[in-house]
């Protein structure tokens, strides 16, 4: 993959697909058969997020790139903006040793890979804008790369994800239908108020659990120590996403 340390960093170009950006990476990265797919979701330290953000709170913005075949690695290039293209909130590089770094092109904040990344799971901290800001959009350009140090033989996917402003008020006192924690045995604890579909992901992108769970308390041995991401969708359509540490 050419520009392996990021097109903003190497070319000073914004190819996110957001309003006012340059041509996307699709102009060059072609010829592959990886059919990449992109998903973006938000996680809060104590749960919540998903299709809504909490004004003023720091969220973990998770970008997950998957594909067919066995690419050498993945790249991402994205931003978070309002409808008029201006920056929404603030991006924060929370880990100097991960595969993401931050850049800026013509005043627009951008997150992107700092090298060809073996995992398709990328994380960056995002501080949401203040109350009353309205919906925001995450624009992502993603590449599944064959690793030949050129743009040929790669495959591109671009996507836009909208996150609405969450309502902060009395309704928050209601009991959440999904409570996520870990116990002393290193297992993942889920307390569900209704039937729920849950998936658990390792930070390397592996699926550690994916299944339907009935109402009640469940302890899952995920077999992995470190950070994991839990995503649950209740039977009435509410989504809960949480990043949590486990000791297997």
Average pLDDT, integer, range 229-235: 89
Asked whether 140 and 76 are in contact (CB, 8 A), the reply is yes
The pair of three-digit structure tokens given for residue 2, joined into one six-digit string: 């050419």
Q: Which pLDDT score, from 0 to 100, does residue 139 have?
A: 94
Between 198 and 171, residue with greater pLDDT: 198
Same fold, 7-170 and 175-246: yes
Report the range of poorest mean pLDDT among 46-50, 165-169, 171-175, 184-188.
Answer: 171-175
Q: Look at 184 and 100; give whichever has higher pLDDT.
A: 100
Would you identify the CATH topology of the domain 175-246?
Answer: Immunoglobulin-like (2.60.40)
Q: Would you kindly state where each structural domain of the chain is located, as residue ranges?
A: 7-170, 175-246
- Give phi and psi for 35, each to the nearest 5: 50, 60
Residue pLDDT, tens place only, 39-78: 888 876 555 445 688 899 888 888 888 888 888 889 899 9
Q: Which long-range contacts (CB under 8 A, 24 or more apart) does 23-28 make?
A: 24/141, 24/156, 24/158, 25/77, 25/141, 25/143, 25/156, 25/158, 26/141, 26/156, 26/158, 28/2, 28/151
pLDDT at 27: 52
Greatest Cα pair distance, the chain, in angstroms, is 55
- Measured in whole angstroms, the distance separating CA 198 from the mean position of its chain's CA atoms is 17
Structure tokens of 229? 């991401």
Give residue-wise pLDDT tens across range 76-88.
Answer: 999 999 999 999 9
Closest CA to 19 of 136, 184, 165: 136
* Higher pLDDT among residues 186 and 207, named by residue: 207
CATH match of 7-170 with 3.40.190.10: no
Question: In this model, does residue 217 exceed pLDDT 70?
Answer: yes
As to burial, measured by CB atoms within 10 angstroms (0-12 exposed, 13-18 middle, 19+ buried), residue 203 is middle
User: Is this prediction's pTM over 0.75?
Assistant: no
Residue 178 corresponds to which tokens in the numbers above? 């999904």
């Amino acid at each position: 993959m050419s520009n392996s340390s990021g097109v903003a960093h190497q070319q000073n170009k914004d190819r996110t697909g957001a309003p006012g950006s340059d041509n996307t990476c699709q102009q060059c990265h072609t010829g592959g058969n990886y059919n990449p797919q992109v998903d973006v979701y938000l996680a809060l330290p104590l749960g919540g997020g998903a299709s809504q953000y909490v004004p003023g709170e720091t969220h973990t913005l998770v970008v997950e790139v998957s594909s067919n075949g066995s690419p050498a690695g993945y790249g991402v290039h994205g931003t978070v903006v309002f409808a008029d293209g201006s920056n929404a909130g603030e991006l924060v590089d929370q880990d100097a040793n991960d595969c993401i770094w931050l850049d800026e092109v013509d005043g627009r904040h951008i997150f992107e890979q700092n090298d060809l990344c073996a995992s398709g799971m990328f994380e960056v901290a995002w501080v949401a804008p203040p109350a009353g800001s309205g919906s925001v959009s995450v624009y992502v350009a993603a590449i599944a790369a064959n690793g030949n140090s050129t743009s040929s033989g790669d495959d591109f996917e671009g996507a836009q994800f909208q996150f609405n402003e969450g309502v902060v008020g009395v309704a928050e006192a209601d009991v959440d239908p999904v409570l996520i924690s870990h116990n002393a045995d290193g297992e993942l604890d889920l307390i569900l108020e209704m039937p729920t579909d849950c998936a658990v992901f390792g930070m390397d992108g592996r699926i550690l659990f994916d299944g339907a769970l009935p109402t009640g308390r469940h302890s899952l041995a995920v077999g992995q120590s470190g950070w994991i991401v839990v995503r649950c969708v209740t039977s009435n359509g509410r989504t809960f996403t949480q990043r949590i540490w486990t000791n297997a």
